[in-house]
Amino acid sequence: MKKTVIILSFVFVSMTAMAQTKTTAVKQIKVGNAKIAMTATPPLYIKNSKDSASYALGYRIAQSMKGQGLQDINIALFNKGLEAGFLSKAAIPDSLLDNCIKNYQDKMSQEKITANRALGAAFLAENAKKPGVVKLSSGLQYQVIVAGQDTTKPTLNSKVKVHYHGTLIDGTVFDSSVQRGEPISFPLNGVIKGWQDGLQLMTLGSKWKLFIPSELAYGERSAGPVIGPGSTLIFEVELLGID
């Protein structure tokens, strides 16, 4: 126990020393033809466990809010709301607080959907012009990378084994069995519509690139921390087996 106290004391003293010796840096950034001087965040003075916990709580709350799409907020009013919450004295009736949050989340989500759909539509329009890209009436696009020698194709009721690599249109990887080094098997009728439509056209041993508009993917829903609502998805899919 004594050893633990000594270690913690050393940590807090070190953190305080680091914070107090940190100088405020000035950096110039270019905006158009103008240069603007930007000062770095002032140093923190963390003296004890209450200080470090206070900072950590604030950071975790911000991380949680960012994950919910609530990073674009009025920090000054957020701080006032935080203070009022500790005092249990809300300027807005308590019965309306949750509605205020939901309404803003809905607004941010709709703006994100609109932006992602516009980006996806522009991408698919240009992509359809590339040699070898086939566009289906559903909006799905595909490009044959490797044509399988087998003529067998899966049906919607088949269980398939595949290797895949999934990215957003900007190249961000959100999932990849290739990177994990392990293919997966699943019922074809249990995945997104773009996969269902695309894989039923593939023959065993084929490797295709699927360009999937949001309405054939996750629609207006987010999927994990990377795929936002209204996102167009790209998959390289290799069909390894059909049951």
Tell me, yes or no, whether 57 and 129 share the same domain.
no
Tell me, yes or no, whether 125 and 228 share the same domain.
yes
Of the residues 48, 65, 82, which one is the last residue of a structural domain?
65
Assess if residue 204 is contained within a domain: yes
pTM for the structure as a whole: 0.71
User: Would you say 140 and 216 are in contact if contact means Cβ atoms under 8 Å apart?
Assistant: yes
Tell me, yes or no, whether 209 and 133 share the same domain.
yes
pLDDT given for residue 43 in this prediction: 78
In tens, the pLDDT along 231-243 reads 999 999 999 999 9
Sign of the CA dihedral 118, 121, 125, 131?
A: positive
Beta-bridge partner residues of 39: 26
pLDDT given for residue 225 in this prediction: 86
Would you give the DSSP letter of residue 32?
Answer: T
Of the residues 41, 65, 89, which one is the last residue of a structural domain?
65
Assess if residue 87 is contained within a domain: no
Query: Does 106 participate in catalysis according to the annotation?
Result: no
Of the residues 49, 65, 81, which one is the last residue of a structural domain?
65
Report the CATH number at residue 201: 3.10.50.40
**Residue 39 pLDDT class (50, 70, 90 cuts):** low
Tell me, yes or no, whether 235 and 132 share the same domain.
yes
Q: Which residue has 């990377």 as its token pair?
A: 226
Instruction: Tell me the mean pLDDT in the region 204-231.
Output: 95
Query: Does 192 participate in catalysis according to the annotation?
Result: yes
pLDDT above 70 covers a percentage of the chain that reads 83
Query: Does 45 participate in catalysis according to the annotation?
Result: no
Please provide the DSSP assignment of 47-63 as one string: -SHHHHHHHHHHHHHHH
Structure tokens given for 14: 């070190």
**Structural domain boundaries enclosing 224:** 118-242
Cβ burial, residue 32 (10 Å; 0-12/13-18/19+): exposed
| Backbone φ and ψ of 16, nearest 5° | -65, -45
Query: Does 104 participate in catalysis according to the annotation?
Result: no
User: Would you say 46 and 15 are in contact if contact means Cβ atoms under 8 Å apart?
Assistant: yes
- List 164, 212, 227, 234, catalytic entry: 164
Number of domains, the chain: 2
In tens, the pLDDT along 68-99 reads 778 789 999 999 999 999 999 999 999 999 99
User: Would you say 45 and 38 are in contact if contact means Cβ atoms under 8 Å apart?
Assistant: no
Assess if residue 85 is contained within a domain: no
Query: Does 51 participate in catalysis according to the annotation?
Result: no
Assess if residue 238 is contained within a domain: yes
Distance in angstroms between the alpha carbons of the first and the last residue of the chain = 60
Beta-bridge partner residues of 239: 162
Assess if residue 125 is contained within a domain: yes
List the one residue out of 131, 151, 153 whose CA is nearest residue 143: 131
pLDDT > 50? residue 21: no
Please provide the DSSP assignment of 114-166 as one string: HHHHHHHHHHHHHHTTSTTEEE-TTS-EEEEEE--S------TT-EEEEEEEE
Assess if residue 111 is contained within a domain: no
Tell me, yes or no, whether 131 and 26 share the same domain.
no
Assess if residue 27 is contained within a domain: yes
